[in-house]
A and B are shown apart, each in its own frame.
Chain A
């Protein structure tokens, strides 16, 4: 690259900053011809609306999704995954309910399954939540830039997040199907073994679960349940989330004859706290209308009976279906994670097949 070219590239990058078309990081300049390469990867009409947002007079079209994928640094070959992710967000339902305008400040969370992972170089192994992999970094970023530029959800304006989360820059992982003892979450939900798919939802925190020394599956299930039921996560009445098991933890469960469904049941059974714990943090009651957790003496609290025994359990994970399990990461230590979701609790995940062209 010559000096003149470098200056032109910087000028183009600054042009995007001046228009506020970034997430704070530099974006890749997009020309009509480069956009056409993305649109050529799908049979979908460029004007088709992927996400309608009528209350903001905005529609995220296939074209806008492609522009933002290019801005994010995606290669055109990633675009079918981005389209499937937007379809999954529509199915998940939280984005169209304006969740990205909310003070909670949720991030888009995308998981990719099937052979497309290898074709485009998605990382499902070590450092799966970390940086260093173009497909993961840019597919997650394509969603976030689509929200900012396509749906107009800019921070301090329509995005009213109180603090947000680092995951808002990008949050895309792939399931480590090769090192998992079980079928993938996509396969569990009807996707064929030769097909690729994407699940999408909105999340708050990603928490580390360090459990390196236990050999008892019951202890491991209790550790996950404890974190899923931390009181700080409880804005709503119930807890839900993804458990992203590293292959070592998944194999431990499998070695003891536990299926993935058994793990879900075991975590849900342990998904409670005592009334005393709930009262200690002012979350023992439920609000009328919103259904949020708050102190029993709050004016919005629904009337309820105080249990005689303060150690009475309050069930927080309502059912095994409130816990989705994905295997990802390296099989090199007992380190897994919890992903705190913000969608409807206890429902099948929104999963969409990737249509590659």
Chain B
């Protein structure tokens, strides 16, 4: 939604929600939508662990931010 409004954005979800993320992207007309996954879970981690996860995910976030909205090999249905 933010990207449709011209605001650069990166979606991040845990790997447990990958299927839903793909289904959501298809449903909204963006098959092949680029997003970042991190290891599940979130809720039961310590602050230190979350910081480490964020640090590890950052290169992926930057990569997706600088790339196209979808993977080029996937064209909208």
Contacts and interface: CB of A to CB of B under 8 A. Distances in A.
Interface of A: 56-57, 101, 152, 156-158, 160, 294, 299
B5 interface: no
Interface in B24-38: 24, 27-28
Given A160-B17, A160-B20, A57 B46 contact: no
Contacts of B20: 101, 157-158, 160
Contacts of B19: 156-157
A57 B46 CA distance: 37
A355 B77 CA distance: 42
B59 to A, nearest CB: 23
B23 A157 contact: yes
Given A157-B19, A299-B50, 17 more contacts: A56-B27, A57-B27, A57-B28, A101-B20, A152-B27, A156-B19, A157-B20, A157-B23, A158-B20, A158-B23, A158-B24, A158-B27, A160-B17, A160-B20, A294-B43, A299-B46, A299-B47
6 contacts: A156-B19, A157-B20, A158-B23, A158-B27, A294-B43, A299-B46
Name the interface size band of chain B. 10 to 19
Contacts of A101: 20
A299 B23 CA distance: 31
Say what secondary structure dominates the interface of chain A. Answer: loop
Interface of B is mostly: helix
Nearest to B26: A157
A162 to B, nearest CB: 9
A-B residue pairs, 3 tightest by C-beta: A299-B47, A157-B23, A160-B20
Contacts of A158: 20, 23-24, 27
Interface in B8-27: 17, 19-20, 23-24, 27
A57 B27 CA distance: 7
Nearest to A157: B23
A224 to B, nearest CB: 30
B2 to A, nearest CB: 13
Nearest to B16: A160
B45 to A, nearest CB: 8
Contacts of A299: 46-47, 50
